[in-house]
Amino acid sequence: MKKISEALSKGSWEGWRVPQEPISKELQDVAEAFVRLQEARHMADYDNTKTWTSTEAEARLGDAHTAFQNWRKVQSDPAAQEYLLALLIGRKRE
């Protein structure tokens, strides 16, 4: 999921459709937020040396809130549907 989200957030993701569906800025932002939030969750779960400030926690909550707003804008786009499929089954096989 992380690798797919990283690729999509950079605009280098290749879906299954030919021609390729355009990737909106909002969808790229959703994928980027997925990566940032997953990394923060891993740090919170496994790094006992990390102390989170309220500012950092609020920033991650803001990331999640913005990601959900962006998802509502793009959820019916074909590229967004392919992204969901890729999150479930992995990347395109050559």
pTM of the model: 0.85
Residue 8 has pLDDT above 70, yes or no: yes
- Termini Cα distance of the chain: 18
Cα pseudo-dihedral 34, 57, 66, 13, rounded to 10: -20
Residue 83 has pLDDT above 60, yes or no: yes
Per-residue pLDDT of 30-58, as tens digits, reads 999 999 999 999 999 999 898 999 999 99
Residue 92 has pLDDT above 90, yes or no: no
Residue 89 has pLDDT above 80, yes or no: yes
